[in-house]
């Protein structure tokens, strides 16, 4: 079965579950490429000027544009695809955020969730939503990849490939989202709570953590495999109490705070708006940083001794910084 048919079946099933969300308009974008009259006119003009091409080549030229870039295609195709990618990334992050709050809710919300679980078991619903989100990310990522490959084939160019790189730099590539790492960690946390037995819902999906905890591997159907490096670029150790900056890079909380020149007890949110990512040097990436609670919980379960040592070390450093900070504030207040 062709991917277009598979994707349409997936969309119909999603509509039946009342989970319909923004998606790649795969069928319509293919029509944009096929109906590009400017491309066909340019191809026919070039084939007529050569005069040596055979009839079958002329038919092929009507479908394949000899231009590396087409104004009509670019205007209708890339603008629409970028909007769809932005909507998909926003929808995915918001749905994952709501899902994770049911498992790692902070403060009073955690108490209310625990109280609710005394009367209703939400685990099957959470697992089902997790599966839906993983499939949603995978299907739309494949659809985007195939339509961009189709664009390059039609136009004999690498513009589609360059557009994909641009989306990655603008954090619209859904497979590079830190929320997908959180979903993988959520899957393994539920797997741990079930005694290591995989849930039936995840029969076509698996997630593993390396022995050192520095690599997370997500395996999807059709032999699709993704690896995420969980090494902090600053301390070069496995991330502890991890945060993902807006640019997507992962850091330990203490390392990220040190790089932003803020105290650990103040937190990443206290970073200045002009603070730069230590890796890509992008400004303002500390705003809306994602606290990877599921990943931290997974490390706490899998690597208990390592987690205790790092926790004690971070706490000692936080107490030390707090003491220095308040000593300085006291001296400033009394005038010394």
**Terminal C-alpha separation, the chain:** 78
What radius of gyration, in Å, describes the C-alpha atoms of the chain? 25
Helices and strands (H, E) in the chain, number of each type: 13, 6
Both tokens of 292, joined, read 């990877």
Higher per-residue pLDDT: 56 or 249: 249
C-alpha to C-alpha distances, 39 to 49, 51, 54, 156, nearest whole angstrom:
16, 19, 19, 11
Higher per-residue pLDDT: 247 or 35: 247
Confidence check: pLDDT of 331 > 80: yes
Per-chain mean pLDDT for the chain? 77
C-alpha to C-alpha distances, 57 to 37, 46, 61, nearest whole angstrom:
18, 11, 6
Virtual CA dihedral for 242, 177, 98, 299, nearest 10 degrees?
A: -30
Taking residues 77-94, report their average pLDDT: 85
Number of other residues whose CB lies within 10 A of the CB of residue 254 = 21
The sign one gets for the Cα dihedral 103, 107, 108, 114 is positive
CA 109 distance to own-chain centroid: 26
Closest by CA position to 160, among listed 170, 146, 174, 171? 146
Taking residues 122-140, report their average pLDDT: 80
> Are 227 and 219 contacting, i.e. CB atoms less than 8 angstroms apart?
no
Percentage, residues of the chain above pLDDT 70: 70
Per-residue pLDDT reduced to its tens digit, 30-81 = 777 776 655 555 555 665 665 544 444 444 444 444 445 566 666 677 888 8
3-state secondary structure of 203: coil
pLDDT at 122 (0 to 100)? 66
pLDDT at 229 (0 to 100)? 87
Higher per-residue pLDDT: 186 or 169: 186
Higher per-residue pLDDT: 37 or 21: 21
Confidence check: pLDDT of 241 > 90: yes
pLDDT at 201 (0 to 100)? 44
pLDDT at 62 (0 to 100)? 41
pLDDT at 240 (0 to 100)? 92
Both tokens of 149, joined, read 């490959």
> Are 73 and 33 contacting, i.e. CB atoms less than 8 angstroms apart?
yes
Query: Could you tell me the pLDDT band of residue 28, with boundaries at 50, 70 and 90?
Result: confident
Bridge partners (DSSP) listed for residue 238: 231
CA–CA gap between residue 40 and residue 31 (Å, rounded): 14
Confidence check: pLDDT of 26 > 50: yes
Higher per-residue pLDDT: 221 or 310: 310
pTM above threshold 0.85? no
pLDDT at 196 (0 to 100)? 52
Virtual CA dihedral for 99, 105, 108, 112, nearest 10 degrees?
A: 50
CA–CA gap between residue 281 and residue 150 (Å, rounded): 34
pLDDT at 66 (0 to 100)? 45
pLDDT at 317 (0 to 100)? 92
Per-residue pLDDT reduced to its tens digit, 173-213 = 888 888 888 888 888 887 766 655 544 444 455 666 666 66
């Amino acid at each position: 079965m062709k991917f277009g048919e598979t994707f349409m079946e997936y969309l119909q099933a999603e509509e039946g579950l009342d989970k319909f969300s923004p998606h790649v308009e795969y069928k319509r974008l293919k029509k944009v490429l096929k109906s590009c009259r400017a491309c066909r006119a340019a191809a026919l003009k070039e084939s007529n000027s050569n005069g040596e091409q055979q009839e079958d080549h002329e038919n092929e030229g009507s479908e394949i544009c000899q231009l590396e870039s087409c104004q009509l295609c670019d205007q209708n195709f890339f603008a629409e695809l970028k909007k769809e990618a932005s909507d998909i990334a926003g929808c995915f992050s918001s749905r994952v955020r709501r899902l994770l709050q049911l498992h790692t809710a902070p403060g009073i919300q955690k108490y209310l969730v625990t109280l609710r679980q005394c009367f209703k078991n939400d685990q099957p619903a959470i697992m089902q939503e997790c599966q839906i989100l993983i499939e949603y990310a995978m299907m739309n990522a494949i659809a985007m990849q195939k339509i961009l490959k189709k664009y390059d084939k039609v136009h004999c160019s690498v513009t589609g490939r360059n557009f994909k790189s641009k989306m990655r730099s603008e954090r619209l590539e859904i497979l590079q989202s830190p929320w997908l790492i959180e979903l993988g960690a959520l899957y393994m946390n539920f797997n741990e709570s079930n005694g290591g037995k995989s849930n039936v819902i995840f029969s076509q999906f698996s997630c593993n953590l390396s022995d050192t905890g520095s690599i997370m591997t997500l395996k999807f159907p059709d032999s699709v495999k993704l690896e995420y490096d969980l090494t902090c670029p600053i301390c070069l150790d496995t991330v502890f109490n991890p945060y993902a900056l807006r640019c997507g890079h992962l850091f330990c909380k203490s390392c990220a705070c040190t790089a932003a020149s803020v105290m650990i007890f103040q937190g990443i949110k206290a970073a200045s708006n002009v603070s730069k990512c230590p890796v890509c040097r992008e400004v303002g990436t500390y705003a809306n940083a994602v606290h990877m609670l599921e990943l931290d919980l997974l490390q706490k379960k899998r690597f208990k001794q390592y987690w205790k040592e790092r926790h004690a070390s971070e706490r000692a450093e936080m107490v030390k910084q707090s003491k220095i900070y308040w000593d300085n504030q006291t001296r400033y207040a009394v005038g010394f």
